[in-house]
Amino acid sequence: MSVLRVFTAVEISPEIRSAALRLIERLRVASAKVTWTKAANLHYTLKFLGDVPMEKTAAICQAVKAAAEPFTPFDIVSAGVGAFPSAGHPRTLWLGVTDGAEQMELLFQAQERLLEPLGFPREHRRFTAHLTLGRVRDSSPAALHQLTELLRKHAEFDAGAMTVDSVTVFSSTLGRDGPTYEVLSRATLNG
């Protein structure tokens, strides 16, 4: 049986992509070992579904479409820099959402409700709209401290605003040069 790694996301505007890449360049000066996200792969993750049987993808795309349809397009501000689990212990570096974060969470919750009957359990962690900038690999305490200081310095970074008008279902293929994403479907916010 053939499987695909699947996730749902909000694609970003070219302006926010450019700003995120400028931010990555500012953070890159730290000596910490970080696998930085490729420009083409920058997006706001809504839900990671994992490995999914190929024949289930049509039902997933339908559920995401049904979740997105009632929503009216809304604006978000891409701003705020941080890390999971925390800036003091960075593992995943991210660009957040200030204005529009509530609508992003409502969009996520609508997907949760419609994907659960398809066998995708609800998230136990609180949803935080974020764009992954990079993932920290094993680094020395000094290098992590340097990265933490840069995260604090850029904590208020503002990448600009954009309109969220669709949700994309992606498949992800892991390769030697990192993941490659392919669009499976786009669901328009029609409300």
Name the catalytic one among 124, 130, 145, 154.
Answer: 130
- Long-range contacts formed by 82-86: CB under 8 A, 24+ apart: 82/130, 82/151, 82/155, 83/136, 83/151, 84/130
For residue 13, the 8-state DSSP code is: -
For residue 178, the 8-state DSSP code is: E
Catalytic, 124? Answer no
Cis amide bond preceding 14, omega within 30? no
For residues 147 and 136, the answer to whether their CB atoms sit within 8 Å is yes
Catalytic, 130? Answer yes
| CA neighbor of 80 nearest in space, from 27, 30, 130, 145 | 130
The pair phi, psi for residue 19, each rounded to 5°, is -65, -40
For residues 72 and 189, the answer to whether their CB atoms sit within 8 Å is yes
Two structure tokens written together for 72: 């009216």
Supply the residues annotated as catalytic: 43, 130
